[in-house]
Amino acid sequence: MVRIATVIGARPQFIKAAPVSRALAGVADEILIHTGQHYDPGMSDVFFEEMHIPVPTYNLGIGSWTQGHQTGEMLKGIESILLSDEPDIVLVYGDTNSTLAGALAAAKLHLPVAHVEAGLRSFDKSMPEEINRILTDHVSTHLFCPTKTAAANLASETIMQGVHVTGDVMADALAMHAPVAARSSEKLASLGLVPGAYTLCTVHRQSNTDDQKHLAAIVSALGDVGDVVMPLHPRTRRALVQAGLYEQAAQAMTLIEPVGYLDMLALEQNARLILTDSGGVQKEAYLLGVPCVTLRENTEWTETVDDGWNVLVGADRDAICSAAASFRPKGPRSDVFGDGKASERIASILADKV
Ligand code: UD1
Ligand code: UDP
């Protein structure tokens, strides 16, 4: 059987890896390397438990550092495991520092890199994620694209070999877990929320948290929107405290701890509107048919905007308030993110690569 070393470390990567690891079981021998980029139980353990992801073979426990320090520590730790365990392929997801470290460690050892969520581009190199995406794609052998747009982005950078349009593994995860979430989550009841009568908001993008003007404008706008529930990313909690905005935010909306995937799906499914700067949450809003207002100037998930279900407003106070009050989706949604079987396709392609 093919030996695959999977590198994950941040919340969205646990969610993406869950259906792929399930599909790989039986056709591949998988070594799971958790970098420790996310480490709070609510940012890590809860996803392994709820989504039945195997316990990582290794946890590097790297934790929070500056961009270069964090990526460098990961690179060292991953390289030493790859040298001792000698996998056939290294599998990475998305666009975090864990993705880049896994890809770089593998490529330097001449190991083939498989990248799930290849070809995404925001065309904004001020985002650390954009750097991670471009570099990872350029050292990858197997590039699994969620959409045709992603494959076209790769083609325009002359990457044509090893490209597969598989569909999006987050659509697989959602299809698998949304019915369970609808049945079992008690989050709405525990928060006293009425379905269709609240706005769900998430914020964690560096461009919003690390710019006090942006953060203040968002908090002020959310106060005007008025019915907002926000599971608070630890980065954003820290930024609000440092900017002296935490009390204002706590009065303007219902701030809660980060939630597990099932509670998050339940909160998304029942929201009247989603406000977010998250990549994954924009996509989930589209898949669940909830209108989305994105607190960014650009998005790599352009189909959600082109189809009329997502609007980009940046961190502009008036634009946020106006979109929250009046944005209505315009057209039908399509199956642009696949049929819920992306993970099976990825597993069957990788299973052949011994
Ligand atoms: C990272 C990814 C981002 C992704 C996000 C998903 C990079 C460059 N960024 O951003 O692409 O969208 O994860 O959520 O890889 N912290 C804790 N506890 C934790 C984790 C983080 O308190 O378990 C705090 C620390 O103060 C840390 C800060 O959050 O400094 C940021 O964490 P980090 O992993 O560096 O970046 P994210 O903003 O989470
Ligand atoms: N998510 C979650 N709990 C939360 C916030 C988000 O389970 O409190 C899930 C969300 O449903 C999506 C993923 O985390 O599946 C998105 O991750 P995040 O927003 O952290 O990162 P991004 O997608 O922007 O990289």
Q: How many angstroms does the Cα of residue 53 sit away from the middle of ligand 1?
A: 20
Amino acid code (one letter) for 52: H
pLDDT confidence tier of residue 354, bands split at 50, 70 and 90: confident
Give the dihedral sign, CA 300/301/303/308.
negative
Whether residue 173 is contained in a domain is answered as no
Q: Which residues line ligand 1 (CB under 6 A)?
A: 10-12, 37-40, 43, 64, 95-97, 128-129, 204, 234-235, 238
Same domain, yes or no: 50 and 97: yes
Same domain, yes or no: 57 and 116: yes
Site to substitute for ligand 1 among 11, 14, 37, most atoms within 8 A of C-beta: 37
Same domain, yes or no: 164 and 195: no
pLDDT at 261: 98
Ligand 2 closest atom vs CA 268: 11
Whether residue 138 is contained in a domain is answered as yes
**The domain containing residue 249 runs over which residues?**
180-326
Same domain, yes or no: 52 and 188: no
Distance from C-alpha of 261 to C-alpha of 270, rounded to nearest angstrom: 14
Q: How many angstroms does the Cα of residue 84 sit away from the middle of ligand 2?
A: 33
Who's near 155: CB < 8 A, 6+ residues apart?
163
Same domain, yes or no: 221 and 310: yes
Distance from C-alpha of 252 to C-alpha of 310, rounded to nearest angstrom: 24
* Contact yes or no for 87/111 (Cβ under 8 A): yes
Q: How many angstroms does the Cα of residue 94 sit away from the middle of ligand 2?
A: 12
Q: Which two tokens stand for residue 290?
A: 């909830």
Same domain, yes or no: 64 and 114: yes
What average pLDDT does the structure give for the chain? 97
The total of structural domains in the chain comes to: 2
Same domain, yes or no: 215 and 269: yes
Whether residue 100 is contained in a domain is answered as yes
pLDDT at 234: 98
pLDDT mean over 33-51: 98
Same domain, yes or no: 21 and 57: yes
Whether residue 175 is contained in a domain is answered as no
Whether residue 333 is contained in a domain is answered as no
Residue 139: how many other CB atoms lie within 10 Å: 15
Q: Evaluate if residue 330 carries a pLDDT over 90.
A: no
Site to substitute for ligand 2 among 281, 282, 283, 287, most atoms within 8 A of C-beta: 281
CATH number for the domain including 65? 3.40.50.2000
Ligand 1 closest atom vs CA 97: 15
Distance from C-alpha of 255 to C-alpha of 249, rounded to nearest angstrom: 8
pLDDT at 26: 87
Same domain, yes or no: 219 and 192: yes
pLDDT at 353: 83
Q: Which residues line ligand 2 (CB under 6 A)?
A: 11-12, 15, 202, 204, 231, 258-261, 264, 278-281, 284
- Condensed to tens digits (0 to 9), the pLDDT of residues 1-31 reads 999 999 999 999 999 999 999 999 989 999 9
| Residues forming the active site | 204
Same domain, yes or no: 24 and 107: yes
Q: Evaluate if residue 166 carries a pLDDT over 80.
A: yes
Q: How many angstroms does the Cα of residue 307 sit away from the middle of ligand 2?
A: 22
Ligand 1 closest atom vs CA 10: 13
Whether residue 144 is contained in a domain is answered as yes
Whether residue 174 is contained in a domain is answered as no
Same domain, yes or no: 66 and 149: yes
- Condensed to tens digits (0 to 9), the pLDDT of residues 108-149 reads 999 999 999 999 999 999 999 999 999 999 999 999 999 999
Same domain, yes or no: 153 and 297: no
Whether residue 332 is contained in a domain is answered as no
Site to substitute for ligand 2 among 37, 40, 47, 202, most atoms within 8 A of C-beta: 202
* Contact yes or no for 100/39 (Cβ under 8 A): no
